[in-house]
């Protein structure tokens, strides 16, 4: 049995408030972390009395009392990049200019806007990211052509992208060109890829809710502290995050139906998966001249 005072290095760093566990692993891999003057391997345990440094700066053990931790909700504007790398123009840290060291929980694409959490608590970052497939994220999406009934049905049922099929989700019409979608997963550029597969282009995307926290009246660029009630609900939601960590596998699409196409099939940002049967039989039916338009007045 291991010493109960031992702590994995990435956990030790994240609980200090320096960064998330995922970011800590990268620092370790880049040999930017030392324990007692030696470069450790991933999975190394920290013992009481060990001296841990990142880039030559000491990392202090976390306190059990986290009353000084920062938890904020931010309305990320379009054009801001969710990175803590200060050399990146338009990075989220310079945009917020918080007096404490904070980092984002997850990310929101540069062309998108809306709600994102930032914190100085590396431990909760890990818990939320591990529980990502178990909590809701709601988006308001504007597309380039009128939304059809078939489009809503296909989006709700699941769409083959990135070698998998998206989970069933709730999609509702908001207006002629706008719909809302609630996801419980976070594939790379998921909504944009789903729409593209069905012949639509996203012209605006805003995240309006994460779990029980609403964007509300926050204007682009504004932020606020999360309330005690919101933090209580978030902590309750991620209390069993370890149970969801291994439950993230997605169903694979039928290889006979789906093939990757695009200028660069090795680039995640450019790969498109097209289903020849579905595209031919469904997307082509939904051209601007033939697409059945929703009647917004329908009761």
Instruction: Give catalytic residue positions.
Output: 109
**289 pairs with which residues across the strands?**
none
Backbone angles phi, psi at 235, to 5 degrees: -60, -35
The answer to whether 152 touches 273, Cβ cutoff 8 Å, is: no
Judged by phi (left if over 0) then psi (alpha if -120 to 50, else beta), residue 203 lies in: alpha
Give the full edge-to-edge strand order of the sheet including 52-54.
33-35, 52-54, 57-59
Question: Whose CA is closest to 185, among 159, 205, 206, 204?
Answer: 159
9 token code pair: 């290095």
- Locate tokens 């309750």: which residue? 236
Backbone angles phi, psi at 189, to 5 degrees: 50, 45
CB neighbours of 208 closer than 8 A, spacing ≥ 6? 114, 115, 138, 139, 140, 180, 214, 215
């Amino acid at each position: 049995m291991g010493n109960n005072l031992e702590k994995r290095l990435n956990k030790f760093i994240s609980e200090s408030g320096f960064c998330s566990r995922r970011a800590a692993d990268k620092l370790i891999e880049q040999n930017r972390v030392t324990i007692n003057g030696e470069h450790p391997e991933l999975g190394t345990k920290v013992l009481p009395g060990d001296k841990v440094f990142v880039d030559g700066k000491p990392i202090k053990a976390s306190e059990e009392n986290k009353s000084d931790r920062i938890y904020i909700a931010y309305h990320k504007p379009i054009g801001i990049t969710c990175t803590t790398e200060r050399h990146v123009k338009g990075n989220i840290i310079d945009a917020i200019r918080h007096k404490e060291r904070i980092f984002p929980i997850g990310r929101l694409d540069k062309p998108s806007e809306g709600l994102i959490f930032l914190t100085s608590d590396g431990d909760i970052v890990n818990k939320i990211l591990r529980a990502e497939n178990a909590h809701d994220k709601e988006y308001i999406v504007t597309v380039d052509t009128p939304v059809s009934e078939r489009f809503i049905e296909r989006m709700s049922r699941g769409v083959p992208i990135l070698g998998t099929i998206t989970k069933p989700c709730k999609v509702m019409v908001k207006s002629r060109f706008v719909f809302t979608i609630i996801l419980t997963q976070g594939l790379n550029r998921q909504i944009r890829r789903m729409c593209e597969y069905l012949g639509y282009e996203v012209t605006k995307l805003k995240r309006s809710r994460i779990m029980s926290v609403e964007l509300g009246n926050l204007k682009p660029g504004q932020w606020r502290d999360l309330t005690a009630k919101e933090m209580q609900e978030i902590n309750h939601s991620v209390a069993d995050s370890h149970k969801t960590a291994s439950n993230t596998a997605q169903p694979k699409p039928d290889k006979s139906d789906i093939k990757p196409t695009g200028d660069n099939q090795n680039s995640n940002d450019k790969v498109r998966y097209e289903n020849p049967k579905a595209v031919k039989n469904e997307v082509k039916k939904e051209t601007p001249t033939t697409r059945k338009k929703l009647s917004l007045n329908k009761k």
